[in-house]
């Protein structure tokens, strides 16, 4: 087991760097910063939770992580650090936080689904024609 904080802090730093690259696409500046504003605080919160400590395996957000979890984050950080195309960076700004959350089995602040395993669909509008389709909840 190891402390969650260092690797999660590196993930937050890498995410910020990725956003810096992505915002060079001028037409997508707003979207890039919307993504940064939405996801980066959650990654930072995970790092801070790690720094605060806490028991591993108790479903909390602080404390230790396994070697496999740390390796997962380091590999994910390495992956996004290889990106030089700002358009690809935009795609990864949306993907990376969920990869982090899945690896840590944690919730990012703001509702990122940690497990990414359960349907997280929202209810359809009352007037939506999809409401007549039983499958669309």
Which is closer to other proteins, CB of 12 or CB of 72? 72
The stretch near other proteins (CB under 8 A) out of 7-15, 43-51, 52-60, 116-124 is: 116-124
Rg over alpha carbons for the chain, rounded to the nearest Å, is: 17
Whole-number Å distance between alpha carbons of 28 and 41: 20
- Does residue 102 bind other proteins (CB under 8 A)? yes
Handedness of CA 90, 21, 19, 113 (dihedral sign): positive
- Encode 21-43: b = buried (16+ Cβ within 10 Å), e = exposed: bbbeeeebeeebeebbebbbebb
Place of tokens 């650090």: 81
Return the residue of 91, 106, 107, 109 that touches other proteins, per CB under 8 A: 91
What's the burial of 15, exposed, middle or buried (CB within 10 Å: 0-12/13-18/19+)? buried
Convert residues 4-43 into a mask of x (bound to other proteins by CB under 8 A) and - (unbound).
------------------------x-xx--xx--x-----
- Does residue 86 bind other proteins (CB under 8 A)? no
- Does residue 113 bind other proteins (CB under 8 A)? yes
Q: Which residues bind other proteins (CB under 8 A)?
A: 28, 30-31, 34-35, 38, 68-69, 71-72, 75-76, 79, 82-83, 85, 88, 90-95, 98-99, 102-103, 105, 110-113, 115-122, 124-125, 127-130, 132-137
């Amino acid at each position: 087991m190891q402390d969650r904080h260092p690797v999660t802090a590196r993930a937050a730093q890498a995410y910020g760097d990725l956003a810096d690259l992505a915002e060079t696409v001028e037409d997508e500046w707003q979207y890039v910063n919307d993504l940064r504003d939405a996801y980066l605080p959650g990654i930072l919160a995970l790092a801070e939770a790690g720094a605060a400590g806490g028991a591993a395996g108790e479903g909390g957000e602080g404390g230790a992580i396994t070697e496999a979890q740390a390796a997962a984050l380091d590999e994910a950080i390495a992956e996004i650090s290889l990106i030089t195309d700002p358009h690809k960076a935009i795609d990864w700004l949306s993907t990376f936080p969920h990869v982090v959350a899945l690896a840590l089995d944690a919730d990012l602040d703001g509702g990122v689904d940690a497990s990414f395993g359960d349907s997280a669909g929202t209810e359809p509008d009352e007037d939506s024609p999809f409401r007549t389709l039983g499958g669309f909840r």
